Amino acid sequence: MSGQMKHIVESIQDVAQRHPRAIATTVLLSVVTPQLTHWFVNNYRSFLALGRAGIPSNIIGWSIAMMAKPFGRETLSTDMYDRDSNKDFWLDDHSIPERRGDRPRTGWHFLPHRQTNRLPSQDVKERLKAIFGKHAAANPDLLEIAVSPHERMHEAMVIKSSRPSPHKVADHAMREVAHYHPEIDYSLHVTLSPQDCKLVIERGWGERHPLSGTVALPKEYLLVYAPRDDEELDVVERILVATIGYVAGSKEVN
């Protein structure tokens, strides 16, 4: 070893002995940083894959979604509905069978709240769109179509502006009845009565939004999974009709 190289090695050893924690941290970062970078890049891509919603589909929106993540709650328990004093149903228990198969996955981010697999065919998408439009048009005394106050870009059913909100849950939901997500998955966000929420969740047709039950959203605000065939379209249509009845406060829904 040359004298110059020996001097460099001795100098490094001296620094290491005097600053062991700094050296250990530097080595750790050199190993971990590429892995973190890879995770953040993949996480950002998965956020973009969820499509547009109420936050920008860019680095700013991703930052908002990341900051919201710690505030998310679990989505499948139903004890809160058992404790609710409202025991009314808008759904017939016998009309909601157990949903076949496992629940679809939902995104790691919940802004936007979307499912990421088991997506419908183009034909089913078009038929869901038609069902949504049919019921919106058939209930002009209860509903009107407006931009979703939650997603702020998709069309939504909302309580007709001349009609008073029938209960505090409707106010908490910003008078929105339902909307579906036309860009990616064709799942729906709906607001159901507490007992209908329990039925839909327990039979596998949906889950709460992770912010449901907070100041942001009522506990009755659910994601209903996208239908995949005729049978599931029928069930989702029944859920949609129940949603209209509950939020608008009417048992007479067309």
DSSP letters along 9-51, please? HHHHHHHHHH-HHHHHHHHHHHHHHHHHHHHHHHHHHHHHHT-
In this prediction, what percent of the chain has a pLDDT beyond 90? Answer: 76
**pLDDT tens-digit series, residues 124-174:** 999 999 999 999 999 999 999 999 999 998 899 999 999 999 999 999 999
Residue 108 reports pLDDT greater than 60: yes
**pLDDT tens-digit series, residues 31-86:** 557 777 888 789 889 999 999 888 899 888 888 898 999 999 999 999 999 999 99
Among 52-66, 197-211, 238-252, which stretch is predicted with the lowest mean pLDDT? 52-66
In this prediction, what percent of the chain has a pLDDT beyond 70? Answer: 87
Residues 225/186, Cβ–Cβ less than 8 Å: no
Domain boundaries, the chain: 3-68, 75-248
Residue 24 reports pLDDT greater than 80: no
The pLDDT of residue 114: 97
Within 13 Å and on the Cβ side, how many CA atoms surround 53? 27
The pLDDT of residue 13: 46
The pLDDT of residue 222: 98
SS3 label, residue 131:
helix
**Tokens of residue 152, six digits:** 């702020």
Among 26-40, 57-71, 216-230, 240-254, which stretch is predicted with the lowest mean pLDDT? 26-40
Q: What is the mean pLDDT of the chain?
A: 89
pLDDT bin (cut points 50, 70, 90) of residue 8 is: very low
Residue 22 reports pLDDT greater than 60: no
Residue 203 reports pLDDT greater than 90: yes
The pLDDT of residue 32: 57
